C-alpha cells in the first residue's frame, strides 16, 4: 500500500514538511478555534472532499486532535462506492483513558501497564473497534 497524501488541520504541521521532503503530496484543511456548529460541518465537508480527492483505500489518523462527524465517516467513500475506513493511533490501552489527555490521565491514575492502541474510528471518542494494542511497562 502506498501513501497517497498527508493532510493536516494545521498548515504549519511538521508532518507536512516531512511528507513534502519525501515527495508525498500534502494538503491542509484548517478549522478556526472556537468554530460553531455550522463552521464545523463545513470543515467536515471540506476535509472529506480533500481526502477523497486522493481516492484512498484507508484513512490513517495519527496525532490528529480533531473529532470528525458521523456524517464525515458515513460519506467517506471511494470513487467506486466502497467505504474508506478511518483508523487512529491512541497513546493508551483503550477502552481505558480515551480522549486527548490519555498519557496524563494514565500517569495520574498510577497504572502499572500502559500502551498504545490502533482502532477504527467511529462517531464516538476513541470508541471504535480495536485493531491492535501493545502494552508497555
Say if residue 48 is in the same domain as residue 23: yes
61-105: pLDDT as tens digits:
988 888 899 999 999 999 899 999 999 999 999 999 999 999 999
Give 54's contacts (C-beta < 8 A, 6+ positions apart).
Answer: 4, 5, 25
Say if residue 1 is in the same domain as residue 46: yes
The yes-or-no answer on residue 90 being catalytic is yes
Say if residue 10 is in the same domain as residue 54: yes
Give 133's contacts (C-beta < 8 A, 6+ positions apart).
Answer: 93, 94, 115, 116, 117, 118
Say if residue 130 is in the same domain as residue 80: no
Q: How many domains does the chain have?
A: 2
39-56: pLDDT as tens digits:
999 999 999 999 999 999
Say if residue 124 is in the same domain as residue 70: no
* Cβ proximity of 120 and 129 under 8 Å: yes
Q: Which domain holds residue 47?
A: 1-84
**Active-site choice (90, 101, 109, 119):** 90
- The CATH code of the domain that includes 12 is 3.40.50.170
Say if residue 41 is in the same domain as residue 103: no
Amino acid at each position: 500500500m502506498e501513501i497517497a497524501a498527508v493532510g493536516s488541520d494545521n498548515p504549519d504541521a511538521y508532518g507536512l514538511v516531512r511528507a513534502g521532503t519525501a515527495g508525498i503530496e500534502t494538503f491542509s484543511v484548517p478549522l478556526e478555534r472556537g468554530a460553531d456548529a455550522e463552521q464545523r460541518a463545513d470543515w467536515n465537508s471540506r476535509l472529506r472532499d480533500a481526502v477523497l480527492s486522493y481516492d484512498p483505500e484507508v484513512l490513517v489518523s495519527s496525532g490528529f486532535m480533531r473529532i470528525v462527524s458521523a456524517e464525515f465517516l458515513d460519506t467517506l467513500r471511494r470513487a467506486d462506492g466502497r467505504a474508506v475506513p478511518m483508523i487512529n493511533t491512541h497513546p493508551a490501552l483503550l477502552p481505558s483513558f480515551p480522549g486527548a489527555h490519555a498519557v496524563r490521565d494514565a500517569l495520574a491514575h498510577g497504572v502499572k501497564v500502559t500502551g498504545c492502541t490502533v482502532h477504527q474510528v467511529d462517531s464516538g471518542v476513541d470508541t471504535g473497534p480495536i485493531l491492535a494494542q501493545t502494552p508497555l511497562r
